[in-house]
Structure 1
Amino acid sequence: MSLPAATRETTGAQKLFDLAHDATNQCVQCGYCLPACPTYESMGREAASPRGRINLVKMAAEGKIDVLQDLAKPIDLCLGCRACEVACPVGVPYGHILEAAKEVIADAESVQPSAGRGSKLKQMVLSHLFPYPRRLRALGNLVWVYQKLGLDKLVRKTGLIRLLPQPMAAFEKVLPRLESPAKRTRRGTVIPAKGVKKASVAFFAGCVMDAMMHRTNRLSIELLSLVGCEVIIPAGQNCCGALHAHQGLADEARELAKANIEAFEQTGADFYVNNAGGCGAILREYDHLLAGEGEWAERADRFAAKSRDITEILVQYGPLPFQQEWEGVITYQDSCHLRNVQGVVTPPRQLLQSIPGATFVELEGSDSCCASGGIYNLLHFEHSMKILDAKMEKVKDTNAATIVTTNPGCLLQMKLGVERQEPAGEMRALHIVEVLAEACGIE
């Protein structure tokens, strides 16, 4: 189908048709996705469901509705958790439809500035901060100084925190305590395996993880070394590009992907390991991101095939040498992109269940999104908190002292959930790497 030139120019319908129309036709309208969708469950509207969004994308691709006026809001309200893909009996690639829609919406906003004012700050941050590791590390260093000098306590005590937008004020309270920047593992470093070398792995440090959670990265490297992995930190690695792809900046995501492929190929490692479910998902989908780009597509295929979550490697080359008995109940909240995109469900649970003394209790609805959604909780704070508060009621039912997850955004969201439910309580929200390291006696 070819749409009139005027329609193509003003709405992006032709590009959307080329990118996603065939995929939308795979949907058989059965509705199996509806109960799996957190926004449909929360809002109760067809336009807030995967089926509804697919139909809207199809209509926009056919030029029947406007990309900005009719499609942008329903797409923006999607968490992108992709639980619908697991529920779908015919394998509709909803995630690819979603990102095609976001790409076309971003294009439309770029030529109609008045329609896209809210996206300007996002684009500035994504284009001028995340692709530059040094800038991100500098930001992380500033946060460390802010915490080290006690300025965080001062802004709360004086009420200055209230000057921040509500989402930023809320998440400022639950920022992790940053380690000294001097402890950050330098890129270009090779950490030898302890004992017999079983494998060589290249570690993906990430952007947010490297800047704000480098302690978790350091602990990840130590755990990998403990199970016999030589760990290489590629010097030329960059942001994975997930946030760019999720916000419609596909060209920037592709450039970041190419930089990472080159950096990791040079290591000659057996596997490429990450500790963030959201990053890992797009690393495994570089083959889709670079499809049709000749040599890059082939290199992306090989890259995706070597990508692993850290829990998979720790199970494969373990067991871990636990040194301490764990006290209390542990529960686990799945990272949506680790579970639904990467298909990693058992390894995190297997590791937690193997900790001496730990009582693992499965969380009801652990496969349902916590509503972090990358930066969704910043853009749609109230709706995100509605979903989170319902999640925390399920967490309380487990009587857990520790709730564990495998993604930085999910971790901050669960920390905020704990803060909202019991600010003076003893429940902890931790990354799985922190839990395993603690049980191994690593500080």
Structure 2
Amino acid sequence: MANGGGSNLIQLLDKFDTEEILNCMQCGFCLPSCPTYRQTGKESASPRGRIALMKGVAEGSLLADAEFEANMYLCLGCRACETACPAGVPYGSLIETAREVAEQAKQEDSPLRDFLFHEVFPHPNRLELLGAGLWAAQVSGLQTLADKTGLMRILPRPMREMQSAVDTVASPWARMQRESVMEAVGEQTGPTVGLFTGCIMDVMFFETNQATARVLTKAGCEVVFVSGQSCCGALHAHAGEKTGAVELAKRNIEAFEQAGVDLIVNNAGGCGAALKEYHHWFHDDPAWQERAQQFVAKVRDISELLAELPPLVFAKELHAKVTYQDSCHLAHGQGVRSQPRQLLKSIPGAEYVEMRGADQCCGSAGIYNITNLDMSMEILDDKMKNVGRTEAHYVVTSNPGCLLQMKKGIERAGQQGQMKAVHIMDLLADLV
């Protein structure tokens, strides 16, 4: 493993916030909350253990080698340990730094990784082309044919496993019909909001973004689909690509500044957590940090905003049992827990059932179910035991990754036809 020359090594290790590392008291309160520790029982698979490894690398007593990298990437980044930590250690930022150090310490490049992070995710038009290709494969029957004939085996196993959870995406024509501004239904009594559409969210869950906008207009808001916005940068930050994450943050800050909206609303827990932390990404750039702080002050999860507005008026009732699966980054990263539950409990006719361990990670964690499929499925199977105990008809989520994972979990548990996974905005849009 190559950390480079002496000066490069010092520069690399300076990225660690040693003060925050030392704030970890090694008390172990985080252990029961950690999905990978619960599955493996290994200290190195716990937040406390990973922080100890970071300390060793920061002090120079350990190398940022392949073993260090593997331990850092086994973490789901769910941040449940932050909720459990009595010392308030910001584990999320520490794990991002550790992955950045691991990536920069490598000698070899990964062409596929570079292509995805530099040539795909930062470019909405390219993502739209990929979405159009996926739509064509789905509606032409090519995806089904490949599945039945075994051609799907040419894909890596994680992608083969997860493709069954993907619904038909929106057509290029549906995307072209999107209005740039959606006016409030009736009198505008709420703020003018800019909807953060995301990257993967707007490709695979275009209709959920549209549903979110419709709910907002019925709540008295004007909704603007802000041009020039891009990926939030969370995928980059979580994968040690901090430079790329910062560049995406700058693009989003500029786009929403120019739009002049009152609030910036999102419907994906992972994106929202990143958007609310932009000001931390510019700690060494005062000018951008001030702009980021102004941006962050406007960011709301959709359930946060709806909780602040007058209650929704429902046109339909839902005579079914409903349970809620917390998005880790919404619950642990943003502290938003009660608002989605309040929305679900307000649905006429619905019976809300609280799930045991609702805020325990489902194993999705961004692209974790692609990069660590086996561990992801172990965590998911445990989660589905708690889901099954609710006997709910609807498992409601507030994050696209959770939604796909819950759909896969229902399939693995053989519960198709008995329960359905749905994004909270899709559910509400059908009822208001």
**TM-score, length of structure 2 as denominator length:** 0.96
Q: Identify which of 204, 221, 239 aligns with 1:229.
A: 221
Query: Given the superposition, is the C-alpha separation of residues 32 and 404 from structure 1 closer, same or farther in structure 2, using an over 3 Å criterion?
Result: same
SS class of match (2:194): strand
**1:334-393 alpha-carbon deviations (Å, 9 max, x no partner):** 000001111110110000111111111011001110111111111110111000001001
**Within 5 A, what are the aligned runs for 1:23-422?**
23-109=20-106, 112-113=107-108, 117=110, 120-184=111-175, 189-197=180-188, 198-422=190-414
Mapped contact 2:12–2:104 kept (Cα < 8 A): no
**1:307-351 alpha-carbon deviations (Å, 9 max, x no partner):** 000111122223222111112211111000001111110110000
For residues 395 and 157 of structure 2, the distance between their equivalents in structure 1, rounded to whole angstroms, comes to 25
- 1:174 Cα offset (Å): 1.0
Paired letter, 1:338: L
The size of the alignment, in residue pairs, is: 429
**TM-score, length of structure 1 as denominator length:** 0.93
For residues 205 and 62 of structure 1, the distance between their equivalents in structure 2, rounded to whole angstroms, comes to 41
For residues 10 and 327 of structure 2, the distance between their equivalents in structure 1, rounded to whole angstroms, comes to 33
Relative to structure 2, which stretch is displaced further, 401-410 or 157-166? 157-166
For residues 68 and 331 of structure 2, the distance between their equivalents in structure 1, rounded to whole angstroms, comes to 28
Paired letter, 1:56: L
For residues 8 and 70 of structure 1, the distance between their equivalents in structure 2, rounded to whole angstroms, comes to 23
- 1:8 Cα offset (Å): 4.9
Query: Identity of paired residues, percent?
Result: 49
For residues 293 and 324 of structure 2, the distance between their equivalents in structure 1, rounded to whole angstroms, comes to 31
- 1:188 Cα offset (Å): 8.1
Query: Given the superposition, is the C-alpha separation of residues 415 and 20 from structure 1 closer, same or farther in structure 2, using an over 3 Å criterion?
Result: same
List runs of 5+ in structure 2 lacking aligned partners: none
SS class of match (2:87): coil
Mapped contact 2:123–2:230 kept (Cα < 8 A): yes
CA RMSD of the aligned region, Å?
1.7
For residues 65 and 270 of structure 1, the distance between their equivalents in structure 2, rounded to whole angstroms, comes to 48
For residues 97 and 209 of structure 2, the distance between their equivalents in structure 1, rounded to whole angstroms, comes to 32
For residues 274 and 307 of structure 1, the distance between their equivalents in structure 2, rounded to whole angstroms, comes to 8
List runs of 5+ in structure 1 lacking aligned partners: none
Paired letter, 2:119: H
SS class of match (1:374): coil
